[in-house]
Amino acid sequence: MKREVIQELLKWKDSRRRKPLIMTGVRQCGKTYVLKEFGKEYFENMVYINFESNEKYEAIFEFDFDVDRIINEIQIISNSKLTPGKTLLFFDEIQECPRAITAMKYFCENYRELHIVCAGSLLGVALRQENIAFPVGKVNRVNMYPMSFKEFLMACHEEKYIDIFSEWIVTREIPELYAKPMERLLKEYYIVGGMPEAVKEYVETKDFDEVASIQDEILADYADDFSKHAPLSEIEKIRWIWESVPKQLAKENNKFVFSHVKAGKRAHELEEALQWLKNAGLIYMIELVKNAEIPLSANADASYFKVYMADIGLLSRRLGISHKSMLGPDVNIKTLKGAVVENYVLNELINNNKKPFFWRSGNTAELDFLCEEDGEIVPIEVKAATNTRAKSYRQFCKKYDIQNGFKFSLKNIAQNDCEGVKTLNLPLYLVWNMDYYCMR
């Protein structure tokens, strides 16, 4: 399956500032598969070392950090030649060998011409452990996410829609010929999500029940990770928060409230467990901005935030939304559909390298997302269906000097004026292409 992160890897491969690369991302999002395909496609040979399944390689790093010695021993044990410019050296499950992570500093300083990539399960958590001397400034980093809706389209062999909509003009209404199948594909994506194994099963069988079984297995694996890799004192707290996230998302006011996790528990008791889930890539935390001025990060309130899940399919599964309900007219799950749609947009924004925040004015108004584009604030309102009336959006645009904004919904594409702001109504199935319209 095609993954857009390959383009980032190609830039890294040819960069004159290239350093050893560390890839992080939620477990089972496809890191190993992508890096192996990258090695096969763009290098003459690849040397793959898995520290979890082959412990003998760990001993290579126990003595010292002499790069020449390390390279020589790897060549002998793997019976392979490491040739700079032609070989990709791939360290997988590198969290199992902390000294190998530290060694990246010396590879950067003394053997930068060799292409080295590193990945691992829960690597985002491992890199924050005290026993790892992280090579600050000596590595490049890339984060990988579950498959985006665009990648889902490619996996489903629906690339024609990407071609059709890549430069769709705002004055041209989208005909039902294109809108109906795109809406259907989007709702399928809400259920299947972006975990590669689930997507592969769906593409091959179209069996939502089999997809659900795979999602249950992935969720069970995540729960096992809590016991295996989290600090003993935090395991139970992590489970409480993990169970609480979808429930809090489904509430109309979905600000994350620690007291809703467990009665009597306060923020300071649960913060470390919440951070563990974030480091693992399982959740995203989006902070509140009350005063929307550039830079947004300087005006964000880190103590007031929303929490979203990294994969939309796993969220739908945990909310208990069936494919029949999602694909049908069942109005009884309107609130749950709204939670899924908001989470979907957040995931698409992050996949497009955005850093979203949200805005709230007391208890009277709330805007779903704010992003920065070329030094300007871009407000984003999200609706699950075709109704795009948005009092909070109008209030925000009136209060701040905004040039452009978006409303994402199932309404047809259109551009209009809202409080003097050029506002684009963009169908939810085109969020992946918002940069095209930001540049216009």
Looking at the predicted structure, is the pLDDT value of residue 62 above 60? yes
CA distances from 173 to 409, 413, 426 (A): 14, 6, 11
The model's pTM is 0.94
Give the DSSP H or E segment for 349. Answer: helix 334-351
pLDDT score, position 332: 60
Q: In sequence order, what DSSP letters do the residues of 109-155 get, joined into one string?
A: HH-TTSEEEE--TTHHHHTTSTT----TTS-EEEEE-SPPHHHHHHH
Model confidence at 130, pLDDT cuts 50, 70, 90, reads low
Residue range 154-212, pLDDT digits in tens: 999 999 999 999 999 999 999 999 999 999 999 999 999 999 999 999 999 999 999 99
Q: What does the DSSP assignment read for 32-74?
A: HHHHHHHHHHHSSEEEEEETTT-GGGGGGGTS---HHHHHHHH
pLDDT at 330 over 70: no
Percent of the chain with pLDDT over 90: 74
Query: How far is the C-alpha of 332 from the C-alpha of 319, rounded, in Å?
Result: 13
Q: What was the pLDDT predicted at 366? A: 86
Task: Say if residues 226 and 315 touch (Cβ distance below 8 Å).
Answer: no
390 — pLDDT class (breaks 50, 70, 90): confident
Categorize the per-residue pLDDT at 440 as very low, low, confident or very high, splitting at 50, 70 and 90. low
Q: Is 273 helix (H, G, I), strand (E, B) or coil?
A: helix
Closest CA relative to residue 388, chosen from 440, 354, 428, 343: 428
The three-state secondary structure class of 375 is coil
Tell me which of 314 and 266 has the higher pLDDT: 314
409 neighbors 425 (Cβ within 8 angstroms): yes
User: What's the rounded Cα separation, in Å, for the pair 179 and 19?
Assistant: 44
Which residues sit opposite 117 in a β-bridge?
Answer: 21, 90
Q: Let me know: does 306 contact 255? Beta carbons within 8 Å.
A: yes
Q: Are 340 and 321 in contact (CB under 8 A)?
A: yes
Which residue in 90, 322, 51 sits closest to 187, CA to CA? 322
- Mean pLDDT across the chain, nearest whole number? 92
The mean pLDDT of 412-426, rounded to a whole number, is: 87
**Residue 112 banded pLDDT, cuts 50, 70, 90:** very high
Mean pLDDT of 122-132: 82
Confidence class for position 259, pLDDT limits 50, 70, 90: confident
Q: What is the pLDDT of residue 152?
A: 98
Strand partners, 23: 142
What is d(CA 174, CA 180) in angstroms, rounded to the nearest whole number? 10
Distance CA 70, CA 64 (A): 9
Percent of the chain with pLDDT over 70: 98
Quick one: average pLDDT of 369-397? 88
Domains, the chain, with CATH or none: 5-144 (3.40.50.300), 149-438 (no CATH)
Is the pLDDT at 294 greater than 70? The verdict is yes
pLDDT of 331 strictly over 60: no
Q: What is the mean pLDDT of residues 404-416?
A: 93
pLDDT of residue 389: 79
pLDDT per residue as tens digits for the range 96-109:
999 999 999 999 99
Q: Find where tokens 């796993």 sit.
A: 314
Per-residue pLDDT tens digits for 13-38? 999 999 999 999 999 999 999 999 99
- When pLDDT is averaged across residues 71-93 and rounded to a whole number, the result is 96
Task: Report whether 104 contacts 64 (CB < 8 A).
Answer: no
Closest C-alpha among 342, 208, 229 to residue 281: 229
Give the residue from 151, 149, 140 showing the smallest Cα distance to 24: 140
